Each structure stands twice: as structure tokens, then as C-alpha cells.
Structure 1
Amino acid sequence: MKTSAPQVAIVGAGIVGLAHAWAAARAGCRVTVFERSDKARGASVRNFGMCWPIGQASEHFETALRSRELWQEFTAATGAYARATGSVHVVAHEDEAAVLEEFVMAMKGTPYQVSMLTPARVESDVPGVRRGVARAGMLSGSEINLDPREALALLPPFLKERHGVEFRWKTAVCHVGEGVLRTASGESHAFDEAYVCSGHDFETLFPEVFAASPLKPCKLQMMRTVPQPGGWKLGPMLASGLTLRQYSSFHGCPSLAAVKARVAREMPELDRYGIHVMASQDRFGSIVLGDSHEYGGDIEIFDKMEIDELMLRELRKLFDFPDWRIAERWHGIYAKHFGDVEFRADVLPGVQIATGTSGSGMTMSFGLADRHFSTRIAPV
């Protein structure tokens, strides 16, 4: 009988990889994380910083709430930036208001913490909303505002100090076989289980699996304003009616078809670039704005000013911040799974690919990894 702790190798130190490292360590494993860069530089640090359970369909909502619990545990232990702000969807059209009403009614008696807001309540209770435009709002109490850059910087030392997780930075893994992986420097490392959590880049290690998978790379563009003056606070994180098209939680609402048809008819440019607009605030007081979605062969290495201008156009229709000056612009690329909340593939005995959280990595990774290790490896 094997009595020593299982050796677990994690390839990739983005949020999915770190979530698996934490869950494996809590399950009693000895964990080593291999990361080709000196720190996380990919999609995990290029997002809104939203733990966003409201976007998840009911079958995944409990997993999102488990992620929320783990974020709260981590931020309490490290002092990382976290605000339990909740969120408000602000809508300017009757068809969008109908979707919100249908959703709130359907969620009665479920774990979703949602309620309708009148236009007057939106204007009185939600900073950053333009006066006179809201037809309705929906308040959700489950969302947490995080700073992804800070969180991804603090997670590795937290895992090392609290759980003994080892990190091999600037170490590119060039081969993963059964029970052993090899790095670009020629070193070999033995393992009992390995998890390839390198986003869409797992194509490098397992190109045939990527080619046969339902995944496509997705590029998003985002912006960040200068810090808002005088300590101005955004309050709850904000989403517009366009966001109803994006998240699976709203897909069962009968009125959503009318919203999609109107946007396609009146603003086809938004569908062309997958634009829906949201806003969160970082720990320095800047407002993070976005985003867009371009897939597969439509992705270009150069960012499009047209996309930024369209996002700002739609943001300004609903929101009104003290200072709109843009301090940063960037893009990120992640693996999009069009059929599920994640992609897992057992590619060899003891080797699994884990990716495809589809832009919901901050929301789902902790919960998904926790669920996986609670069933795969018993604590020792």
C-alpha cells in the first residue's frame, strides 16, 4: 500500500493552475507548479477582477459560490484586495427589463440573491449610472470585486508558505509523458498525477487533443481609466443589458430572443465583435472597462481601435464616471468552451488537461478544482 503523499505536477501558474495546486495541496498532495514565465502573464491577469457567480447557470452556481468562499478565505489570509460589492445589471430597454424580471421570478427560492430595482432605486443606490436612462436594474449580492494582478502575485507565496507548494518559475515544460515530464533544460520530474493548466497553450504539448476539442481561442480587449478623483467609489460592479447575451444564466429567459434580435438588427457591429459592457473598480480606484470577443481565425495580433470606441460608446450610454481618461489598454486570449463550463481530458494515465473556463476563470477555477480533488484524491 502506498503511504507517501501523491506527487502532483501542475503545468501553468494562471488561475486554473493555482486553483488546482491549492486543491491538491489541501487534499494532502505534494505539489510542484511549472511556469514558463517569471509570473502569471496571460489571461488570468487581464480581466475585470470579478468573481461573478450571477453569470453561471443554475447547475454551476453552487460551484461558483464555493469559489467565492475560497476567495474570501484567501483574501482574509493575505490581505489581498477584495470588496463584496455585489453587482447591478442596468438596462435601458423594455425587452432587457423583461429578461431581468423573468430571471428574478425564476430564481425565487434558489440560492441566487437577486432582486429588481426601479429606475429611481438605480439612480439613488448605484453610483456611476447616468441619470434618466435606466428602465430597470437587477441587484445581485453574490459578486466579489478582486484585483487579478495582485491576486495572482500573492497566490504563489500563499501556497508556498501555507501548503508547501513548490514553484519552478521560468521553466518551460516541453513534454509530458506517463509519470514523468521533461523541461526545456533537459530535466525530468516524476509525478503520480499531472494537470496541464496552460489555457489554449496546451496545444503545444498535445496538439492532437486541441485539434479534436470543442475549444477555440478567444481574444478580448479591455481598458482601464485613471484613478477616479477624490476617492470616488463605483459601488457595485456594473453590467449593461448587452451582457444578458453573454452569460448562460440568462439563456432560459423567454425575452432574451427579442434582445438578441434587436441588437443584431440595430447594432450588428456589436455582434461582429462580441461586445458587451461591464465595469469594475481596482484597488487604486481606476475603473476597468470592457469587453469584446473575437474567436479563432478572426483573432489578429493588433488591437482594433474600433472595438475600444464601440465599447466606450455603449458604456457612456448608461454610465457616468467622474474621469473617463484611459490610462491603459490591453488584450487577453483564453480558451473558450462553447459546450460546458470547463474542458477536461485524460490524455494519458495520470495526466489530465484542465482548461476552457471560457473567461470565467476568476469565478469558477477554485470551485472546479476543489470539486475535482474532493472526488479524485482522498486526504492522507
Structure 2
Amino acid sequence: MQQQQADVAVIGAGIVGLATAYHLAAQGKKVVLFERNSKAISASIRNFGLVWPIGQTAGKMYQRAMRSRATWKELAAATGLQCQETGSIHLAYANDELAVLEEFAQAAPGNGYDCTLVTPSQIGKYTSAIKTDGLKGALWSPTEMTVNPRQASAAIAKHLEEKMNVTVRFGTAVNGISMPYIETRAEKWKVEEVFVCSGADFETLYPAEFAAAPLKKCKLQMMRTIPQPGNWQLGPALCAGLTLAHYSSFDSCKTLVPLKERFAAEMPEYVKWGIHLLISQNGAGELTIGDSHEYGPDFEPFDKAFINDLILEYMHTFLQAPTYTIQEQWHGIYPKLTNGQTDLVFSPEKHVTIVNGLGGAGMTLSFGLAQEVTGAL
């Protein structure tokens, strides 16, 4: 078995592992990055590609998201990957939804958010992709960005290898860690430090520690349309009332309580399956639509058609697009903390750090969190 040496090993080439490797390499560390699959194929490519600061709680988490946003822009400039500063629009078609937007917007300057209430007569300045009948108002935020998740992971890994001297080992599972050594099928590496960024794989490395952690798995279902004709543009990423009950940034709004009560009474299936709706558009003109949230230790591989039907039904209440033809349907699985925290960072043994539990906010928070755990701040 060939023996090699590096300063730091990062295990997992999803967005958390890539972000960790990026900030370590930027500090001049010699990094080796392991990924058991031939490329990133899990949650980091099965998402909207949205960097979503507006959904994060004020203070530490919002600032973490904004630092991630800045890093995405740096990487886009360095690699040419798609990174569009689209912003976002939250739409309100009911008075109780508008009340939440108004309360949030009133407190926004003091909480550090950059957002603006938009009247129905003003909405055309921001997007032509919505149905205006019944629209009560909207919230515009300029901070959200859209990347192409299926391209981003590969582009970042290539940049790490070619420009930042990171050794990348795709198709290479780590079979054991016995510090200071890491073993794979063909190699043995001596390292000073290890970061385990294994996503929803709780069973391979440190299974007892993961079993004791407040983690569960979340399955989400998503869809993508064919390219929109005539170079039609969505503009800002879109969401509507259900999203107000999903993101923690709105939890401080007192008006959210009666809105959630209405959703529970009038839309119980949406609440049961954790459905809200985001719509983004990639560089190919395709719309990404979703999603749902189903929790458990594991899941059947079969997607639920009625969940996709519910998603599309709600989409048609506000989206106005040239074509709704679906070309792809899929699901992703990511780790979710059960204790209300935003991340799980701990050391199962000396010089080993597990970084996990970002929930559905990996694209938004990973680079900012990696700055913190690697000492880059």
C-alpha cells in the first residue's frame, strides 16, 4: 500500500467538504480531498442552486450566509461557473401573508436585512413571471443568487486541484481513520488533521458518534422543466406564502402564528409533507421547482407522485411561464438536526472534526461555516 502525506484530509466532496478544502487550501495547507463516488452525486447537486441569505435568522447566520455569498462570487470569477445575482421575491396573495411581509420588512433595517416591500402596481419592475390577479404585495430582496448545482461541484473540485494544489481522490472511499493515518483501498495517508464532511452518510465513519447525535435524514422531491422558449427569463427566484412558514428568518414575526394556523387548517397535506415552493432558473433556461420534506432514518426509493402534484398545483397559483413541461423528477436526502441548531461541528477524537447538519442550507451556509471551522476568519 502506497503511503503519502498531507497537512489535512477532507472526507466528502459535497459542498461542505469542498468549502472546507477551499478555505484550508487558501491558508496554504496541503490538502487531500476524498470522495467515495466518481463525482458529487448527492444533496449538493440535487437542489435549487440557491444562495438564500433572506431565509437565515438575523445576526450570526445571516452574516455567515453573506460571507458564503462573497465566496461564491470569488469562485465564479475564478472558474466561470454560473452565479447569477437574481435576488428573490416573496409573493403574498392573502392578507395574513402580507401581514407577515409587512412585519418582517418593518424590522428588517434593524436586523440587517436588505429588502423592500413591493406593491402589486410595482411588481412589474421586478418580474413578469407571476400571476397578478389577487396579488396583495411582495417582498424584494437583492441578496439571493442562483448557481447551477450540477456544474458547481465539479467546477470547484477542478479549481481546487488545478489552481490550489489540492489532491482530489474521486472514487475513493476512506475505509478507516487511525490518526495520524487514513486508509483507502490503495493508499495510506499521514495527516495532521481530518475534517469529515459525510452528509447523510452516518454509517461509514464514526457511526456510534453519529447515532448519538441529534440528527435525522430529510428526503425532498423536486422537478425541472424543459428550457423555457425564446430566452424567457424568470428573473428573481420566486416563492409564495408557504415559504414564510419554512425559513427561520420569519419566526420572529408574531403575524406568522395565525398564518401557520390557517395553513394547518386549509392545507393540511402541504403541512404534513413539509411542502413549500421555490422556483429558480439555471443558465440553460430550465426552471427548478420544489420541494417537500419527509423525515426519517431512511426512505423508500420510490417518489410519491401526489407530492409532485401538490407542488405543481401550488406553483400554478402564482407562476406565469411559457412552458411547464417537466423533463426531470428526482429526490435528494440531506441531514437535518433535531435540536433546532444550524450545524453540527464536533470532535470525535483528537485532530478529527465532523462538520454536518446544515439541513437544506448547504449552498447558502457552507463557505461561511467553513471559514469558521478552519480558522479562516
Compute the TM-score of the two structures, normalised by the length of structure 2.
Answer: 0.95
Higher helix share: 1
Does the 8 A contact of 2:6 with 2:190 survive in 1?
no
Output the CA distance in 1 between the equivalents of 2:300 and 2:255: 34
1:202 Cα shift?
Answer: 3.3
Does the 8 A contact of 1:122 with 1:134 survive in 2?
no
Bigger Cα displacement from structure 2, 171-180 vs 42-51: 171-180
**What amino acid is the match of 2:92?**
V
Matches within 5 A, 1:201-216: 201-216=201-216
**What amino acid is the match of 2:155?**
L
Which residue of structure 1 lines up, in the alignment, with residue 235 of structure 2? 235
Bigger Cα displacement from structure 2, 344-353 vs 200-209: 200-209
Which residue of structure 2 lines up, in the alignment, with residue 150 of structure 1? 151
1:299 Cα shift?
Answer: 3.1
Supply the RMSD in Å over aligned alpha carbons: 1.5
Which residue of structure 2 lines up, in the alignment, with residue 284 of structure 1? 284
Does the 8 A contact of 2:238 with 2:279 survive in 1?
yes
Does the 8 A contact of 2:16 with 2:197 survive in 1?
yes
Bigger Cα displacement from structure 2, 280-289 vs 188-197: 188-197
Which residue of structure 1 lines up, in the alignment, with residue 34 of structure 2? 34
1:374 Cα shift?
Answer: 2.3
CA-to-aligned-CA distance 1:261-307 (integer Å, 9 cap, x gap): 11110111001110000100011001000000000157322100000
Which residue of structure 2 lines up, in the alignment, with residue 306 of structure 1? 306
Output the CA distance in 1 between the equivalents of 2:78 and 2:311: 36
**What amino acid is the match of 1:341?**
T
Output the CA distance in 1 between the equivalents of 2:296 and 2:181: 32
Which residue of structure 1 lines up, in the alignment, with residue 141 of structure 2? 140
- Number of residue pairs aligned between Structure 1 and Structure 2: 371
Which residue of structure 2 lines up, in the alignment, with residue 343 of structure 1? 344
Output the CA distance in 2 between the equivalents of 1:287 and 1:267: 25
Which residue of structure 2 lines up, in the alignment, with residue 116 of structure 1? 117
Which residue of structure 1 lines up, in the alignment, with residue 252 of structure 2? 252
Does the 8 A contact of 2:12 with 2:33 survive in 1?
yes
Does the 8 A contact of 1:196 with 1:202 survive in 2?
no
1:178 Cα shift?
Answer: 2.3
Matches within 5 A, 1:351-370: 351-370=352-371
Bigger Cα displacement from structure 2, 140-149 vs 198-207: 198-207
Q: For the structure 1 residues 103 and 133, does the alpha-carbon distance in structure 2 shift closer, same or farther, using more than 3 Å as the test? A: same
Does the 8 A contact of 2:91 with 2:138 survive in 1?
yes
Confirm whether residue 177 of structure 1 aligns to residue 145 of structure 2: no
Which residue of structure 2 lines up, in the alignment, with residue 128 of structure 1? 129
1:124 Cα shift?
Answer: 4.8
CA-to-aligned-CA distance 1:139-194 (integer Å, 9 cap, x gap): 001111110111111001111122100111111112122221222x1532111110
**What amino acid is the match of 1:122?**
I
Output the CA distance in 2 between the equivalents of 1:68 and 1:139: 17
SS in 1 for 2:201: helix
Does the 8 A contact of 2:250 with 2:256 survive in 1?
yes
Output the CA distance in 2 between the equivalents of 1:299 and 1:241: 28
Matches within 5 A, 1:54-65: 54-58=54-58, 59-65=60-66
- Structure 1 unaligned runs (5+)? none
Q: For the structure 1 residues 374 and 136, does the alpha-carbon distance in structure 2 shift closer, same or farther, using more than 3 Å as the test? A: same
1:375 Cα shift?
Answer: 5.9
1:110 Cα shift?
Answer: 4.0
CA-to-aligned-CA distance 1:10-37 (integer Å, 9 cap, x gap): 1110000000000111122110001111
Does the 8 A contact of 2:6 with 2:189 survive in 1?
no
Output the CA distance in 2 between the equivalents of 1:371 and 1:354: 11
1:6 Cα shift?
Answer: 6.8
Does the 8 A contact of 1:133 with 1:318 survive in 2?
no
SS in 2 for 1:116: strand
**What amino acid is the match of 2:350?**
P
**What amino acid is the match of 1:153?**
A
SS in 2 for 1:128: coil
Output the CA distance in 2 between the equivalents of 1:375 and 1:177: 26
1:135 Cα shift?
Answer: 1.1
Does the 8 A contact of 1:9 with 1:32 survive in 2?
yes
Which residue of structure 2 lines up, in the alignment, with residue 67 of structure 1? 68
